[in-house]
Structure 1
Amino acid sequence: MKASLFYLPSIGSRAEIEAGMAGMRPDLYQRMLKELSEQIRLGDELGYDSVSFTEHHFHIEGFELSNNPVLLDLYFAMQTKRIRVGQLGIVLPASNPIRVAEDIAMLDHMTNGRACAGFARGYQRRWVDVMAQQTHGIHGALPNQHDEIDNANRLAFEENFRIVKKCWTEEMLTFDGKFWKIPAGPTPWTLDTTEKWGKGVENGILKAVGVVPKPLQKPHPPLFQPFASSENTVRFCAREGITPILPPMHPFHEDKLYSVYSEVSGKPKGQGVGVLRDVIIADTDEQAMALWRDSGQFSGRAWFEPFGFRKGMQDPKTGEFPTAEQIIAQGYAFVGTVDTVLRAMETQQRRQPVDWVFCYTYNSLVPHDLLMKSIDRFWTDVMSRFH
C-alpha cells in the first residue's frame, strides 16, 4: 500500500474561520504556505509516496484555498527530493485541456519525473459556473446528481480528458468534438519555418498542432480521479487506467464500486483503487477525537455535508448514519492513538484491500505542531506495517 498526503488547504483554525472572511487574509495564507512546507518536507524525508492538492476558487470562507494545484505542486517539489506531486484534481470541465496537458508536462520535466496527474469533474456551482462559462451549458454537478447538468458536465470532462491524453501521446493533435475542434477551422499558416522544420500544414492551411513539451514519464504521469462515488465514474476510470480514489462509503455502495472496477479493468478486487481517509494520530483517543471535532467534523458539517458528501455513508436499509466511534471502528477514519489507527486500518484492509490511502490532513484546523507529530506517527508506526 502507498500513502499520499492530501490537502484541501485550510487557511485558518476553526476560530479564525468562524471570525469570517479568513480567505482574504494574506497573513494566514503566508502562515499556511510555511506550515505546509514543513509538513511536506517531513513527508518527503519519511517516505510518503506523494502529496496532492485539490482545485477550488473564490473560497473567501477559508476552506480549500487551492486555486492552482500545479503551481502548488511545483512550489513544494522545489523544496523536496523524492516525493511525487499531483492534483486531486484539476477540474477539467472548467479548464482548457491543452493548457492542462502543457502545465502537467512542464511540471513533470521540472520535477524530473515526479508528477502525478489527477482530474475531477467539479461540483461547486459558485465557481464552476463562472470559470466554465465559455463552455456553454457546463455547470457544477453535485455527487449522486443524475440529470442534464450532470450529463453535460460528464461529457465535457470525458472529452477534455481525451484531449489531454492525445496531447501527451500523439505527435500532432487533431480533434473534432462537441466542445473542442482542433484546429478551430480553416487557419492560414504560411510560415516557411514550419514548412522546413515543422509539421501540420497543407497548402498553407493548418491541419494539426503539436503540443509541447511531451511529459518526461512515458506515456504520461500516473492518473488519479477523486472522489469516485458513482458506477459511471468508476467504469470510466477502469477503462482509462485511472486510479479512482473512493471516499468513505457504506459497504453496500463500496463493494459495488470495487466489483465494477475489477470487472472492467480485469484486476483483482481492490487493485488499482485508493481510498480517502481522515488521519489524526495523538497521544490518546480522547485527544485525537477532540482534534477531529475541530477539523474533520467541523469542516464536514460546515462545508461538505451541504453538497451531499455524507450521503454515501447512509445505510440504504435503515437510513441511519454511523456514529463517529463506528466510523473509526469500521476503518472509515484513522483517528486515535497508534494502536487505534492500526486496528482501524487493519479493519479497512480486511474488508477491502486497496493500493493507496490518501491522508486528509486538515492543515491549520489541526495545530501545526500536532499535525507534524501525526504525519510522523502515521508513516513510522502505522504505514511501516503496510508499505
Structure 2
Amino acid sequence: MRVGVFLFGGVEMPDAGVGGPDPLDRRYDQQAVLHAHRELLECGVLAERLGYDSFWLTEHHFQHEGYEVVPNGLLFSAFLAARTSRLRIGTMFNIVGQWHPLRLAEDFALLHNLSGGRGILGVGRGTVPREMLPLTAGQFSVGSHDNPDAAEADRRNRELTGEALDVIELALGQESFAFQGKHFSLPPPGIPDRGGEVSELTLLPRPVYPFQTWQAVTSPPTLREVPRRGYGGVFWLKERERLQQDWNEFGALFDRHHGGELDPGERRLLVLNVAVAATREQAIAEVRPGHDEFWKFLGPYGWGRGYNGPGGGPAPAGYVPTLEESMEQGVWAVGSPADVAEAIRGYQSELGLQDLVLFPGMPGDSYDRVRAQMTLIATEVLPRLDHS
C-alpha cells in the first residue's frame, strides 16, 4: 500500500473553529501567504524524509480567506521536485476548465520529465464559482448534478471539462494531433505558416515516463465517466457504506470498459482525514477547531453530501457535520496511534487499499502541528499497518 500526504496549503489561523471569524471576514497579508508557501514546501521535503510515497497540493484562486493559497500546483511541484529525489507529486486537483488544455498538458509534461517521472496528473471540475468565472471570462462556472438551480452550470462545466480532457489525452499521447469540438478547434483553421496552413499540432514536451491520471469521484455522473476514461478515481468525504458501494461500482465499471478485472483496490485512492495524539481524548480536543473550520469553509459548497444526514439518508446541500459525526461515519480517523491504525486497517480489509492519502493538516493549523502530525503518523501509525 502506497501512503501519501495531502495538504490544502492555507495560512495559519490561531482563531480557527466555531468561535472564530466568518470565512468571508478573514483576510491575510502577503507575508502570511508567503509564510504558508515556504512552510508547505518544508512539509513536502519532510514527507520524503519520512518515507511517504506522494505529496499532493491544490489549485485555488482569490481566497483572501486563506484556506487554500496555492494557485498553481504544477509550478509549486517544480520547486518541490527540485528539493526531493523520490517523492511523487500531484495536485488535487488541476481544475481543467480554468486552463487551456494544451497549457495544462505542456506544463505537466515539463514537470514530469524534469522530475524524473514523479508527476501525478490530477484533474477535476472545480468547486468555487468565484474562482472559475473570472478565469473563464465569465463563460463557465461550476454546479452540482443534484442542485436544480445550478443544473445548467453543471452541464456546461461537464461538457467543457470532457472536451478539454479529450484534447489533453490526444496532445500527451500522440506525435501530432488535430481536434475539432464545440469549445476547441485545434489548430484553428487558416493559420499561415511558411507558405502553407497549419493542419495539426505537436506538443513539446510530451511525457517520456509513464504517468497516472486521477480524478475526484463525488457524483454519479463522474462515477460513470472516470472509469470510462481509464483514470484512477479519488474518493474523499464519503460515509463508509456509500464509499464501499461507490468503490466497488467503480471497479465493475472499469472492468466493463477495459476488459479486465481490477484487484479490489486497484485504480482507486482513498483520502482520509486524520488526527493523532497520545490519547483519543487529546486528539479529539486538538482537532476540533480545525474540523469545524473545515466545514465553515466547505459546507456552503456542498461538500457534506457524502455524509449521511440526520434522517439516515444522504445529507442535504450545505450540511455541516459535527466532529463526532465525522468520526462515526468513518470520514475522520481520530485518536491514539493504535486507534488511527485500526481505522486504516478496517479500510484495508473492506476496500483492499493500494493507495491511501492522508489529510493531517486542518484549516488554520500551524505548520509546526502539521509536521508533528506527519511525523507521528509515519513513526507510530504506519508501522502498525500491513503494507503488502
Residue number in structure 2 paired with 1:2: 2
Residue number in structure 2 paired with 1:281: 276
Q: Which residue of 213, 222, 233 corresponds with 1:244?
A: 233
1:254-302 Cα distance to aligned partner (Å, 9 max, x none): 23312321112122443211122112212222222122112122222x1
Residue number in structure 2 paired with 1:13: 13
2:124 aligned with 1:120: yes
Residue number in structure 2 paired with 1:211: 203
- CA drift of 1:326 comes to 5.1
Residue type of the alignment partner of 2:248: S
Residue number in structure 2 paired with 1:310: 304
Residue number in structure 2 paired with 1:224: 214
Residue type of the alignment partner of 2:379: T
- Structure 2 unaligned regions, length at least 5: 256-261, 316-320
Q: CA–CA distance in 1 between the matches of 2:333 and 2:114?
A: 34
What SS is found at the alignment partner of 1:334? Answer: strand
What SS is found at the alignment partner of 1:58? Answer: coil
| More displaced 10-residue stretch of structure 1: 238-247 or 151-160 | 238-247
Q: CA–CA distance in 1 between the matches of 2:89 and 2:137?
A: 29
Aligned-CA RMSD value: 2.3
Q: Which residue of 102, 124, 141 corresponds with 1:139?
A: 141
- Structure 1 unaligned regions, length at least 5: 192-203
Residue type of the alignment partner of 2:364: L
Q: CA–CA distance in 2 between the matches of 1:259 and 1:225?
A: 16
Q: What is the aligned-residue identity percentage? A: 24
Residue type of the alignment partner of 2:125: R
Residue number in structure 1 paired with 2:96: 92
The change in CA–CA distance for 1:343 and 1:60 in structure 2 (over 3 A counts) is same
Q: CA–CA distance in 2 between the matches of 1:149 and 1:326?
A: 31
1:46-85 Cα distance to aligned partner (Å, 9 max, x none): 2111111111111011111121111111111111121011
- CA drift of 1:163 comes to 0.7
Residue number in structure 2 paired with 1:160: 164
Q: What does 1:340-351 correspond to in 2, within 5 Å?
A: 340-351=339-350
Q: CA–CA distance in 1 between the matches of 2:176 and 2:314?
A: 54
The change in CA–CA distance for 1:143 and 1:12 in structure 2 (over 3 A counts) is farther
Native 8 Å contact 2:280 2:335 kept in 1: yes
Q: CA–CA distance in 2 between the matches of 1:165 and 1:97?
A: 10
TM-score, scaled to structure 2: 0.88
Residue type of the alignment partner of 1:270: G
The change in CA–CA distance for 1:78 and 1:190 in structure 2 (over 3 A counts) is same
2:125 aligned with 1:130: no
What SS is found at the alignment partner of 1:59? Answer: coil
Q: What does 1:1-387 correspond to in 2, within 5 Å?
A: 1-15=1-15, 18=21, 24-133=28-137, 136=139, 138-142=140-144, 144-145=146-147, 147-190=151-194, 204-218=196-210, 221-226=211-216, 228-266=217-255, 267-300=262-295, 302-315=296-309, 318-319=312-313, 324-325=323-324, 327-328=326-327, 331-362=330-361, 365-384=364-383, 385-387=385-387
Q: CA–CA distance in 2 between the matches of 1:268 and 1:316?
A: 35
Native 8 Å contact 1:248 1:275 kept in 2: no
Native 8 Å contact 1:330 1:348 kept in 2: no
Q: CA–CA distance in 2 between the matches of 1:248 and 1:364?
A: 15
Q: CA–CA distance in 2 between the matches of 1:6 and 1:23?
A: 24
Native 8 Å contact 1:250 1:315 kept in 2: no
Q: CA–CA distance in 2 between the matches of 1:56 and 1:8?
A: 9
TM-score, scaled to structure 1: 0.88
Residue type of the alignment partner of 2:201: V
Q: CA–CA distance in 1 between the matches of 2:238 and 2:110?
A: 36
Residue number in structure 2 paired with 1:196: none
- CA drift of 1:383 comes to 2.3
- CA drift of 1:366 comes to 2.4
